[in-house]
Copies of this chain bind each other. A is one copy, B any other.
Amino acid sequence: MSGNYIPPLAERPSVTVDVVIFSLVEEDLRVLLVRRKYDPFAGMWAIPGGFVHPNESLEQAALRELEEETGVTDVYIEQLYTFGDPDRDPRMRVITVAYFALVPYDAIQHRPGDDAAETGWFSVFNLPPLAFDHKEIVEYALTRLRYKLEYSAVGFRLLPDVFTLSELQQAYEIILGEKLDKRNFRRKILSSGILEETGKRKKEGEGRPAMLYRYRDDAIAEVKTRRLFP
């Protein structure tokens, strides 16, 4: 800190958390949005969030917002980035600490039908106009998710416990937004060491039933990163 300067109360910003909540729904990557009741941006969609309470940590605030919106408590959550441009909120200076969460769709208690006017799951590839800088925040979260998917076992948070390689490839293709070469995908994902065979098989189309895989416990435990060195 430079010297002993402390800003006067009136110059202090407000601090919020906002949570980009992803789920795989019907072969689509979706985010949970909330329709704003009040100005600014009344009537527009926004990612869920709110002010940090005086006695909670930033992560506690994000988990509280997540639970309020989805009823889910045991989820993967990660701090994404802090957005603080002076004019991002027209009312006053608001700095927001953005998080992203990965939620299996079948764990969510509040389905779109429950309170349809207020919340909805939207395709990340076809978003409505969003309040504040929330479009930028969702795009940043998608970039991070894609990146993590490529070097870690984070994908297990969005997938069922067991799956065939075809199902896994489809999930990767949905999230990455591109088709992947089947042989290349299988070679890389198997050599990454994050999967193991379950010993069980599942019938998929013609031919021999496909092996069912699961994420290895140690890969999940670390949400393991690949090291180049040593």
Point out residues on A near B: beta carbons under 8 Å.
1-7, 9-16, 36-38, 46, 49-52, 54-58, 65, 68, 79, 81-82, 84-86, 91-93, 95, 97, 147, 150-151, 172, 176, 178, 180-181, 184-185, 188, 192, 225-230
The contact of A188 among B85, B91, B93, B228, by CB within 8 Å, is B228
Taken together as a complex, chains A and B put the C-alpha atoms of A52 and B2 apart, in Å, by: 11
Question: Can you report 18 A-B residue pairs in the complex whose CB atoms are below 8 A from each other?
Answer: A1-B36, A2-B50, A6-B14, A6-B91, A7-B51, A7-B54, A9-B12, A12-B13, A15-B15, A57-B85, A57-B86, A58-B84, A147-B225, A150-B229, A151-B151, A178-B230, A180-B229, A180-B230
User: How near does chain B come to A212, taking the closest CB pair, in angstroms?
Assistant: 22
Contact B84–A52 (Cβ < 8 Å):
yes
**Nearest-Cβ distance from residue A2 to partner chain B, whole angstroms:** 4
With the chains together, A82 CA to B11 CA distance in Å? 20
* A186 to B223 alpha-carbon distance, docked (Å): 28
B15 engages A228 (CB within 8 Å) = no
Given contacts A5-B50, A37-B4, contact A56 B86 (CB under 8 A): yes
A68 contact set on B, CB distance < 8 A: 2
Q: Given contacts A150-B229, A225-B147, A229-B185, is CB(A52)–CB(B97) below 8 Å?
A: no
